[in-house]
Homo-oligomer: A and B are copies of this chain.
Amino acid sequence: LQSGRMRRLKPMLASLSPAEIALFLESIPRAKREVVWALVPDEDHGETLLHVNDEVRAELIDSLDRETLLAATEGMPIDDLADLVEDLPEQVTREMLRSMDVQNRERLKVVMSYAPDSAGGLMNNDTITVRPDVSLDVVSRYLKQRASLPDDTDALFVVSRYGRYLGMLPLAKLVTLDPERDVSEVMNTDIDALAVDMPAAQVAKRFQDLDLISAPVVDPEGGLVGRITIDDVVDVIRDEAEHSIMSLAGLDEEEDVFAPIGRSARRRAIWLGTNLATAFLASEVVGLFSDALSKIVALAVLMPIVASMGGIGGSQTLTLMIRGLSLGQIGFANARALLVKELAVALINGILWGVVVGGIAFVWFHQLGLAVIMAAALVINHLNAAVTGVAIPLAMKKMGIDPALAGSVVLTTFTDVIGFASFLGLGTLFLLH
C-alpha cells in the first residue's frame, strides 16, 4: 500500500461499520492486514474483533498491545465480551476483570460459566425486571428514573419475588395500555423461557419458528438469568449454514482465506489423504480386472463414466439428506418412505441415462454386448447411490459423526467401488470369452 492510498484508507475505514471493517480485513492478504488494522479507529477495535473469524481474530489480537486491547473491551456488552475473552491473553483478561465494577464482573463470570454454544453462552444478563403486582404507571416511573435501557430492549421481564420468570412486558404494551392496570394483567405469558443449557442450534430454531425478537433464559429452577436477542441468533443461523457447505469440502468455516500457506496446506492435506485412501480402494478394485482391461480397452475408456454418474446421483441424495437432517425434516421415522422415493427416482434416471450412455457406447465401439453392460452397470450404480445416499448420513448421525464432513468421502467410495466393480465385473463375465 503506497502512502497515498493509505491516506485515503483512514477516512474510508472511519466511515465503515465494524462488521464491514471485519470483512475488509478478512479480504486482504495477511501481509497488508497489519497495516490496515493499525488505521482502524480505536473505538471500533472491540466490535471488529467480534466480527472477524477465529483465525483472523487471533492474528489481530496478537498485533495489539495490552493497553489498546484493554481499551477495546471497555463498554462492550457482557455477551460480546464473553465471546472475546476466550481469545484474549490471560494478562489482559485479568486486568480487564480488575477494572470492571463488581456487578459487571459477576455478570461476565456467569455468562462465561456456560458453554459458548448454549443459550447461556449466547445470552446477555442485563435484563430489566419488574414485579407482577405493580401498576404500569409504577413501571413507567421506574424507567424514567433509570433514564436509559440496555441496547435492543423491546420488553421488560416480569419475575416473582424470588426471581422466578413469570412473563414479558413489551414496551409496546407499556406505552399503549391504561397505566392503572397491573403488570400481571397485561404481561405476555405465551413465550416459554429458554433453558440456560439449551444448545445454540435449538435456540436458533426456536427464534425462527416463533419469529422472536428476544426471549428470556432461565436456570433449571425457573429463575430468570438473562435474555437472548435475535441479532446474536442470526450469527448462529449463518454459521450453521456455512458449516455445512464448508464441511462438504473438508474446510472449516472459521478458516482465514489468506491463512499462511503452510497451515492451509497442512489442513487440506488431511482431507486429500483421506480421499486418497478411498481412491486407492477404487483402484484396487479396478486392478482385480486387469485381464479384462488389457484385452478390451473400451472398458478402461468408459469406466470413469459409470463411477462419475453414480457419484453425481448419490451426491444429490446426500445433499437432500444433510439439509433435511439439519432442518429436522428427515429422521429415522420417514427414512424408509424417502428411500423408496429415492430408489424410484434412481431407477428412472438409471434406465434413462443407461439407454443413452449404452447407445453412445454402441455407436462409438460397435459392440452390442458392451452397450448392454454399460447400461446395466449404470442402473446398478444409481440404485447403489440412492441406498448409500440415504443410509450413510443416517448411520453417521446415529454414530455422532457430522454427515456434512465425512458423508461425501464415504459416498464416493461406494459409488466408485460399486461402479467399477459392476461394470468391469459384467465385462469380465460376458465379454472376455
Contacts and interface: CB of A to CB of B under 8 A. Distances in A.
A319 B251 contact: yes
Interface in A228-286: 229-231, 233-235, 237-238, 241-242, 244-246, 248-251, 257-258, 261-262, 264-265, 268-269, 271-273, 275-276, 279-280, 282-283, 286
B353 A273 contact: yes
Contact of A153 (B26, B172, B305, B308): B172
Interface stretch (A57-65, A117-125, A215-223, A296-304): A296-304
A344 interface: yes
Contacts of A401: none
A177 B315 contact: no
Interface stretch (A36-44, A91-99, A141-149, A391-399): A141-149
Nearest to A261: B344
A89 interface: no
A208 interface: yes
Contacts of A26: 329
Contacts of A297: 290, 293-294
Contacts of A323: 242, 245-246
A322 B275 CA distance: 22
A329 B23 contact: yes
Q: Of residues A210, A305, A307, which shows the largest number of chain B Cβ atoms within 10 Å of its Cβ? A: A305
B341 A258 contact: yes
Interface of A: 17, 19-20, 23, 26-29, 140, 143-144, 146-149, 152-154, 171-172, 174-178, 207-213, 229-231, 233-235, 237-238, 241-242, 244-246, 248-251, 257-258, 261-262, 264-265, 268-269, 271-273, 275-276, 279-280, 282-283, 286-287, 290, 293-294, 297, 300-305, 307-309, 312-313, 315-316, 318-320, 322-324, 327-331, 333-334, 337-338, 341, 344-345, 348-349, 352-353, 356-357, 360, 364, 412, 416, 420
14 contacts: A28-B334, A143-B176, A148-B172, A213-B230, A241-B242, A245-B323, A246-B319, A250-B316, A258-B341, A268-B345, A279-B308, A282-B308, A283-B305, A294-B297
